[in-house]
Chain A
Amino acid sequence: MGVGIEVINLNAWYGTNHTLQDINLHIPANQATALIGPSGCGKSTFVRCLNRMHETNPIARVTGTVRIGDLDIYEDAKPVQIRRRVGMVFQRPNPFPTMSIYDNVASGLKLNGYTNRRVLDEIVERSLKNSALWEEVKDDLKKKSGASLSGGQQQRLCIARALAVDPEVLLMDEPASALDPVSTSKIEDLIFELKSQYTIVIVTHNMQQAARVAEKTGFFLNGRMVEFDSTHKIFTNPSDKRTEDYITGRFG
């Protein structure tokens, strides 16, 4: 089951660049929440603060509170524990190039010491089915490497890999930006399916996509969250002028 996310006064820096400023919002459980905004406004930085990936960059810094379920992720837990509960799919597909399809999906479990073959087999199959890749790869799970798949297949492989560790939250940073329309719509269908089990945060540049998959949408601009509301409201009747300018394309 997914859990809700509470973000309170989140600030993030790269060196002296104050990338995120006073972000406050509540991301509801078992829904998809879209984040939109112009390039460089801090969307990726924001999602990386939700699984503590931001701090893997040596020049990065973060303050504020993020609560996932009732766990304060910066106070009560180690990054490693958080990242097992909060899965992430990156903008560019990044399968492990030397691993087979099977090992890619199983990697999160195997690398954390899980070895029961039968259970692994089951989880790999279920994850690949959930990410709509099973039919295309089931015959060469262990023969083909993750890098030998097409870009769209690789991205679904990465989704399967994230699902295999059974997270409660799934962060997707422009998961379809490098994909063709067919793969994109497969991934959108997938998000619809996954909502029942996970809380989903999806960054996207594609407003139709946000409108199609997300219940809530947040609009970021220059490191601040300008508006956060139901997707319908954001796209039909935004309360902030800047949001309106952005979604109607009247924006530099």
Chain B
Amino acid sequence: MRSERKVWSRIRTLTDGAATGLAVLSTVLVVAPLVAIFVYLIYKGASSLSLDFFTKIPKPEGESGGGMANAIVGSAVLLAVSSAIGIPIGIGGGIFLAEFGRGTKLANAIRFTADVLNGVPSIVMGVAAYALIVSPQKSFLPFTGHFSAFSGGVALGIMMIPTVCRTTEEMLLMVPNAVREAALALGVPNWRSVLSITVKTASPGIITGCMLAFARVAGETAPLLFTALGNQFWSTSLNEPIAALPLQIYVYAISPYDDQHRLAWAGALVLIVLIVAAVALVRYVTSRGVLKGAS
């Protein structure tokens, strides 16, 4: 009897140890690629980072030196446009799916469309944007009908919509019904309760969804090849082709010059750091208003 219990206790200790070990191993496996990429980028790119990189525009083919200032600013412009398009539409769609259209045919159609859109490869997105808003001489949107920053922003913005929409919906559905009922029972109109209570309660998750979508399109190259095109010179105009970090990295990476390869690595490093910084900043700013102890 006694010894049997001892054996069992031993087995339990072993199983416990094995489970902990597996958990640690998985964690390492998840984190390792990220660390590896980061370390490698620093190793390859850090040495080419200089003040010039952040203040100068690219030198003509073959000359060494120059920087990616225009591409950094260009990426910021593109992402501002795409966020201004993708985030409101995505959040609005998500709110409709979760709060107003539940169970309706329209909601099912929107949900299905969003899921399909999410699976469309980015190059197809680029070609479609090209065919619909870049190549037609007359377009229904401003700043389009030719390669332009705006059409690049539109392409990226549309790519953001499904992620933002579906995470918003999921986060809203996670808000307990008791919270909605509490608001309604106070005599608050439904639309007001949705906007001020339900969406606010779900906002940390919704913001995470927006950041995911943002980070994803920040590194997109293919859709920009057909829309924003890239630019070797300074431009912040929405109506002109514009440079972007991923495009510049692509151009330099396939060039024959070692110097430009190094700049490409540096560009990749900067891109990742900027994405992480943007996500961290948004998280910091939006978390300051949230109270301690809120779940």
Q: Are B201 and A98 in contact (CB under 8 A)?
A: yes
Q: In the complex, how many angstroms separate the beta carbon of A198 from the nearest chain B beta carbon?
A: 15
Interface residues of B in 169-199 (CB under 8 A from A): 176, 178-179, 181-189, 192-193, 196-197
Once A80-B189, A111-B196, A148-B293 are accepted as A-B contacts, the answer to whether A97 and B201 lie under 8 Å apart by CB is yes
- Selected from B179, B187, B294, the residue in CB contact (under 8 A) with A145 is B294
Complex Cα spacing A94 to B203, Å: 18
Interface residues of A in 96-137 (CB under 8 A from B): 96-100, 107-108, 111-112
> Could you say which residues of chain A place their CB within 8 Å of the CB of B185?
51, 53, 83, 87-88, 90, 162
Does A158 sit at the interface, judged by CB under 8 A?
Answer: yes
Complex Cα spacing A161 to B181, Å: 13
Q: Are B184 and A83 in contact (CB under 8 A)?
A: yes
Once A80-B189, A98-B203, A111-B196 are accepted as A-B contacts, the answer to whether A158 and B182 lie under 8 Å apart by CB is yes
Q: Are B291 and A80 in contact (CB under 8 A)?
A: no
- Selected from A51, A112, A162, the residue in CB contact (under 8 A) with B188 is A112
> Could you say which residues of chain B place their CB within 8 Å of the CB of A143?
291-292
Q: Are B186 and A97 in contact (CB under 8 A)?
A: no
Q: In the complex, how many angstroms separate the beta carbon of B211 from the nearest chain A beta carbon?
A: 19
Once A90-B181, A165-B187 are accepted as A-B contacts, the answer to whether A144 and B291 lie under 8 Å apart by CB is yes
Q: Are B187 and A148 in contact (CB under 8 A)?
A: no
Complex Cα spacing A80 to B201, Å: 22
Once A98-B200, A98-B201, A145-B293 are accepted as A-B contacts, the answer to whether A111 and B193 lie under 8 Å apart by CB is yes
Closest to A94 in B: B178
Q: Are B291 and A100 in contact (CB under 8 A)?
A: yes
Q: Are A94 and B176 in contact (CB under 8 A)?
A: yes
Does B295 sit at the interface, judged by CB under 8 A?
Answer: yes
Q: Are B184 and A94 in contact (CB under 8 A)?
A: no
Q: Are B294 and A98 in contact (CB under 8 A)?
A: yes
> Could you say which residues of chain B place their CB within 8 Å of the CB of A144?
291-293
Complex Cα spacing A148 to B294, Å: 7
Does A81 sit at the interface, judged by CB under 8 A?
Answer: yes
Q: Are B295 and A165 in contact (CB under 8 A)?
A: no
Q: Are A162 and B186 in contact (CB under 8 A)?
A: yes
Once A96-B201, A98-B201, A112-B187 are accepted as A-B contacts, the answer to whether A90 and B182 lie under 8 Å apart by CB is yes
Does B290 sit at the interface, judged by CB under 8 A?
Answer: yes
Does A147 sit at the interface, judged by CB under 8 A?
Answer: yes
Once A81-B187, A148-B293 are accepted as A-B contacts, the answer to whether A94 and B201 lie under 8 Å apart by CB is no
- Selected from B178, B188, B201, the residue in CB contact (under 8 A) with A111 is B188
> Could you say which residues of chain A place their CB within 8 Å of the CB of B193?
111
List 9 A-B pairs, minimum CB-CB distance, nearest first: A148-B293, A84-B187, A108-B186, A83-B187, A94-B178, A145-B291, A88-B185, A145-B294, A94-B182
Known: A96-B179, A98-B291, A144-B293. 10 other contacts (CB 8 A): A90-B181, A92-B178, A94-B179, A94-B181, A98-B200, A98-B290, A111-B186, A111-B188, A112-B188, A143-B291
Interface residues of B (CB under 8 A from A): 103, 176, 178-179, 181-189, 192-193, 196-197, 200-201, 203, 290-295
| 17 residue pairs from A and B, CB less than 8 Å apart | A51-B185, A53-B184, A80-B187, A81-B187, A83-B187, A84-B187, A90-B178, A90-B182, A94-B182, A95-B182, A97-B201, A98-B203, A108-B187, A108-B188, A111-B196, A112-B187, A148-B293
